[in-house]
Amino acid sequence: MPNALRLSFGVSRMKKIILIIFCALAWMAAQAAPARAQSPIQVTSAPYAAEIAKRITFPLEVSSSADITKIYLSVRFPGTTAAGSRIIPKFSESPKVKTMAVWNLDRELVGMPGGYLPPGAEGVYSWHIEDAAGNVLDTPPAPFRVNDERFEWQKIENDRFAVYWYKGGEAFGQSIFDRLNQTIDRIEESIGARYPDKIQVFVYADDSAFESILSPGHSNAEFVGATPVDEFSVMLVKSAPEDLQFALVAAPHELVHMVINQELGAGLGQVSLPLWMNEGLASYYEYDPPKMEERYQTLLDDAIKNDTLLRLRNYASTRPNDYDEGLLMYGQGYSVVEFIVNQFGRAKLAQIFQELKHGSADDAFQKVLGVNQDGLENLWRKQVGAIQKNYATQPTATALAQPTFALSSAETPASSGVATPTAQSVAAAPTAASAPATAPAANNNPASNNRGNSFCGIEFGGIALAIVGMYGWRKRKRS
């Protein structure tokens, strides 16, 4: 494996093929249109320039025999669920026009044309031009890519992952790469899934650089340690070489959410998957062999002893609003997933996921395990020595609105998106900025247009928010 290679961004073969086919078909269509082939409109388009976390600029020079009256730039993302957009540049009508369209990448400038795109995102762009004589020209789609050229990247890859990092030796990147490959084999075997695309993983060693490439949905970006951007099969991780152990836990956690989101999609299955199970699975596959984090185990043991365990059903789609309660949900979720694997087998876990695509969690558990969600909890309670509950006489807690600050990386029923057109962007379905991600202590603001969801946590406010910064995957403060 080559060492310390210059960043050479790789993408999945499938997406690359889609881009090539898309561009080729568009070019052939343009050539086949007689009116356009005879158009006097002549275009000189300089190469685009992408400045990470700032903007992508698309220069244009165009001339015709009559005044140019209309120009817009179309940006699309073939092979992804991300929304494209049209951007109308400023220009004065004239037979010769020199202008520039700008796709905004700055997470602070949410009102500008464009939208959030992570490093590694790829798309295509084309110009539409009209003149006063009725001539029309659509240029063939050209590819573009968002590269982060602030650093000299190293890279290691296979057909499933491309891991990029800029601080640390080869062993640092190799360790993360190896752990990801081990994790994806384990989780895909467990739930009977297959992630179809190559996942690009960008490991940032600097807090400010990492925070600059997060989506606007991360209102508390300083607390985020890792996050997936499912639309582009990208994962962002914050880890300096001395924090390798954090990366070896955070990256697998987020990878599990990516595989789950891919398997269940953003439809009925994604809504049906209980939050406690989603986070329990992600926590279960953080280590190989699995082990529960000590802080979770301590809270779980105390809750079993004091009869203060959570009712799982109450956390099927609602996150805890208390710090310790959130940690306990992780511990219970981990323990119940472990119970299912040990008592029923991994094949049953895969069957549950297949059933979740078609019905509720109760239906899935009942069909595969012979019990509903409450029944599963009582079987688990018996196994761990906890008091069993007669939930038939106890009301279910009222579900609250989903918070914007999450305890973990998979905000269950909603999905997230990128490439948010604004009022100045003319066409394309609008979407909100991509949601955050990464385990206990990051922010999440889910929106439409993503295969899955992102991050783990809850919004406390005031002093409590500072406490959350210490939660799980918190930002590591060093003296």
Give the mean pLDDT of 420-435: 33
Sequence-distant (6+) residues with CB within 8 A of 423 are 111
7 to 147, 201, 206, 233, 298: CA distances (angstroms): 9, 12, 17, 17, 43
Sequence-distant (6+) residues with CB within 8 A of 379 are 339, 343, 371
So what's the pLDDT on residue 12? 47
Length reported for the chain? 479
CB atoms within 10 A of CB 384: 14
- What is the three-class DSSP state of 377? helix
Window from 222-236, 272-286, 290-304, 381-395 with minimum mean pLDDT = 381-395
Give the mean pLDDT of 400-428: 36
So what's the pLDDT on residue 15? 54
Q: In this structure, are residues 145 and 9 in contact, taking their beta carbons and an 8 Å threshold?
A: yes
Beta-bridge mates of residue 439: none
Window from 168-172, 287-291, 471-475 with minimum mean pLDDT = 471-475
So what's the pLDDT on residue 222? 77
pTM score, whole prediction: 0.76
Domains of the chain: 13-145 (2.60.40.10)
- Compute the distance between CA of residue 268 and CA of residue 145 in angstroms, rounded to an integer: 33
Give the mean pLDDT of 90-108: 94
Q: Which tops the pLDDT comparison, 58 or 221?
A: 58
Give the mean pLDDT of 354-374: 95
H or E element, residue 138 = strand 136-138
- What is the three-class DSSP state of 20? helix
Tokens standing for 347?
A: 């094949």
pLDDT band at 393 (very low <50, low <70, confident <90, very high): low
Give the mean pLDDT of 5-13: 39
pLDDT band at 182 (very low <50, low <70, confident <90, very high): very high
User: Which residue is it, tokens 């890279």?
Assistant: 155
Helices 361-369, 373-384: axis angle to 10 degrees equals: 60
> Minimal CA–CA distance to 344: which of 296, 319, 376?
376
- Compute the distance between CA of residue 417 and CA of residue 140 in angstroms, rounded to an integer: 26
Q: What is the mean pLDDT of the chain?
A: 80
- Compute the distance between CA of residue 382 and CA of residue 379 in angstroms, rounded to an integer: 5
So what's the pLDDT on residue 388? 94
Q: Which tops the pLDDT comparison, 448 or 308?
A: 308
Q: What share of the chain is helix, strand, coil (3-state, %, to 5)?
A: 35, 20, 45
So what's the pLDDT on residue 424? 34
Q: In this structure, are residues 103 and 49 in contact, taking their beta carbons and an 8 Å threshold?
A: no
User: Which residue is it, tokens 């992780």?
Assistant: 330
> Minimal CA–CA distance to 419: which of 410, 429, 409?
429
Predicted confidence (pLDDT) at residue 23 exceeds the cutoff of 90 = no
So what's the pLDDT on residue 444? 32
pLDDT band at 396 (very low <50, low <70, confident <90, very high): low
Maximum distance among all Cα pairs of the chain, rounded to whole angstroms: 85
pLDDT band at 442 (very low <50, low <70, confident <90, very high): very low
Highest mean pLDDT among 94-103, 388-397, 434-443: 94-103
Q: Which tops the pLDDT comparison, 114 or 37?
A: 114
Q: Which tops the pLDDT comparison, 423 or 336?
A: 336
Q: Which tops the pLDDT comparison, 97 or 424?
A: 97
H or E element, residue 27 = helix 13-32
pLDDT band at 5 (very low <50, low <70, confident <90, very high): very low
